[in-house]
Structure 1
Amino acid sequence: MLIELRPGTSAEAAEEVAARAGAHEDVTAWPVRLAGRVFVVVSGDESLAHVPASPAVLARRPTPDGHWLVRRDSGVAPREVTIGPPLSGPPEAPRQVGVVGGPRLWWAAGPCALESTEDAVETALTVRAQGAHALRAGLSKTRSSPYHFPGRGLRGLEALAEIRRAAAIPVITEVCDPREVAAVAEVADCLQVDGRQLDNRPLLAELGAQRRPVLLMRGPRASLDDWLRAAEFVFTRGNSAVVLCAGATGTPQQPGFGAITALRARTELPVIFDPSHSTRSASLVAPAALAASAYGADGLLIESCTKPERLYRPGDAAHMFPPESLADLVATCERVRDSARSLEVSC
């Protein structure tokens, strides 16, 4: 349940409402400010929660589906999310900024996992020259096998910072452990969550406590409600800078383009598409990216590397789209998206 408070409610008054709403030992409540509005999040048995008769209380917002804040009609979820400065960061942070959900197609490219620092710098410089808004390079990976390279984890933070400085480009990296979120947020411009981590509630809560954008991948078996509830977990901790990333769904897995349009009816949050993981083939990245653009994706997350033959994980090289062709691909995707929009029919 959510209790919305009146605009201008002080922090002290919000804390008082939260304390009274969560007075029962089986209920937890805390205030959160989102989109210039003030809410008290009530977690636990709603029948035990108390909505105080306070002049600060504006309305009670029932949450039967578990995701009211991210809904289109809530007026809370942002249509645009900025990745890169002016977010807090070290003085040497790249000046480049990308807006996901704006008029232009946002895109990021790079290797699935951060491996060789030298190769990653070369890739970062190449994709930046191609027009990329950010570099993707995972520090931690939720692998399907315990014998596959799990990523460098916190050991790779210094390398990630070096790549970010050398290429002057924002970086997106994956985080799996809630204990590592704060440290990774000191370096990365955007924190990525694998679809298999959508049920990792401690991780989502910790991401919500940060002020870095969060990229939520959809798991292949996750419903739209599962996905939106994961975003809601981040929102309820105070962070509304969430981007949703669609990919493969079903068994056998196929690119889930329909999720892009389905989400449009349910949330304002920007939605991008991963044509690499959804197809598992570099030869299919372009068709999938074009299809996602026709469906109205706000951006693309593409696997690319200048030295794919040197990647550790068997099979990762097969996903890598040639970096020298990225600009042409994205330009074509933008034309397709514009053409599709010109043909939209109002229902």
Structure 2
Amino acid sequence: MIIILRENATEAQVDHVVKRVETLGFQAHLSKGTYRTVIGVIGDEEKLLAAPLAAIPGVAKVVPVMPAFKLASREAHPQPTVVDVAGTKIGGGHLGMIAGPCAVESEERMNDIAAAIKAAGANLLRGGAYKPRTSPYAFQGLGEEGLKILRRVGDAHGLPVVTEAVDPRHVELVAEYADMIQLGARNMQNFVLLTEVGKTHKPVLLKRGMAATVKDLMMSAEYVVAQGTTDVVLCERGVKGFDNACRNMLDIAAVPQIQQISHLPVIVDPSHATGRPELIPACALAAVAAGADGVHIEVHNCPEEAMSDGPQALLPEQYAEVMGQMKKVAAAVGKTW
């Protein structure tokens, strides 16, 4: 950790900062420049972060050297993590191609969609049994019945299943049926939920919040990893922007940025990012080209009848077409699924 003192800090204040650091049990290394005095502190940053050093008179800024998300950082784990979801690998050159409807609506419909996405090359099936909706009057999901349907359909088509947990009280139940537990954008900073999902030791798909920075996303991942669940996949799904042309603003730059600072795989969800089917293929291709470890796309065989997010879903034939295009891009960047 580095403590930067104010330009007008007095000698007495500098001495006090040094003594305070040493009293806490750390080593202080003083470096005086022409305009600034800097104190390098050697010791456990976890303990240092708990000390209100910035409140000491004369201190301008306290700068941690190590990232706050230690377990999820590249420093803690230099090699990329490969997450295994019931035999499907994500990361390390393996692409997780997640597809399916926003919500589980019926077993017949799920079977039709699962067969179509499997034929197109998808390797994970998604569908929401619990839906966090903006309106309390909107379809909230089928609950446990939806989980049962998703499990049966996934088993029938040989596809691991991904579904969302929205309430800490449901985590145990969701973990019973799901191969991978999704934490949606609205719950990215629901720290109680993050902790409970982390305790299941199931693979986790963590989506970036709509107003969250990359660091915010990494700190949320740290909550999960700190519980012993190292199989965490991050998901860029767009953030709030000033332009209403799209549902959200897709931050493609987040993909290589996250890969520089973290060992966790990162995928892209162009469906929620754009909200427009005609834009999804181009954004999906851009994601693979940018180095993403997978793509998450909503697919529905009759969007006009969808009970959730129908306008942003691709038809099965549209999904098959974009999957064919993504295979070419994946081959060019040395990735496969």
Shorter-normalised TM-score: what interval?
0.7 to 0.9
Q: Within 5 Å, give how 1:124-139 maps onto structure 2.
A: 124-139=114-129
| Amino acid in structure 1 at the alignment position of 2:237 | G
- Deviation track 1:271-320 (CA, whole Å, cap 9, x = no partner) reads 1000111110111110110111121111000000123232123xx22211
Distance 1:240 1:63 in 2: 23
1:268 to 248, 263, 268: 263
Q: Within 5 Å, give how 1:253-264 maps onto structure 2.
A: 253-264=248-259
Distance 1:146 1:292 in 2: 33
| Amino acid in structure 2 at the alignment position of 1:272 | I
Report SS of the residue matched to 1:283.
Answer: coil
In structure 1, the partner of 2:327 is 334
In structure 2, the partner of 1:72 is 74
Distance 1:227 1:326 in 2: 28
Distance 2:232 2:218 in 1: 10
In the alignment, structure 1 residue 202 sits paired with structure 2 residue 192: yes
Distance 2:224 2:182 in 1: 12
TM-score by length of 1: 0.73
Distance 1:77 1:46 in 2: 30
Distance 2:160 2:79 in 1: 23
Deviation of 1:325 after TM superposition, in Å, equals 3.6
2:226 to 218, 229, 236: 236
Q: Within 5 Å, give how 1:1-347 maps onto structure 2.
A: 46=50, 65-75=67-77, 78-84=80-86, 97-252=87-242, 253-313=248-308, 316-339=309-332
Distance 1:248 1:132 in 2: 22
Distance 2:115 2:48 in 1: 49
Deviation of 1:44 after TM superposition, in Å, equals 12
Q: Percent of counterpart pairs with the same letter?
A: 37
Which consecutive unaligned segments of at least 5 residues does structure 2 have? Answer: 1-45, 52-63, 243-247
Greater Rg by CA: 2
Report SS of the residue matched to 2:177.
Answer: coil
Which consecutive unaligned segments of at least 5 residues does structure 1 have? Answer: 1-41, 48-61, 85-96, 343-347
| Amino acid in structure 1 at the alignment position of 2:268 | F
Q: Would the aligned equivalents of 1:119 and 1:307 in 2 still touch at CA under 8 Å?
A: no
- Deviation track 1:137-166 (CA, whole Å, cap 9, x = no partner) reads 011122222222122223422222222233
Which shifted more, 104-113 or 225-234?
A: 104-113
Distance 1:317 1:180 in 2: 26
| Amino acid in structure 1 at the alignment position of 2:271 | S
Which shifted more, 158-167 or 182-191?
A: 158-167
Report SS of the residue matched to 2:84.
Answer: strand
Which shifted more, 296-305 or 326-335?
A: 326-335
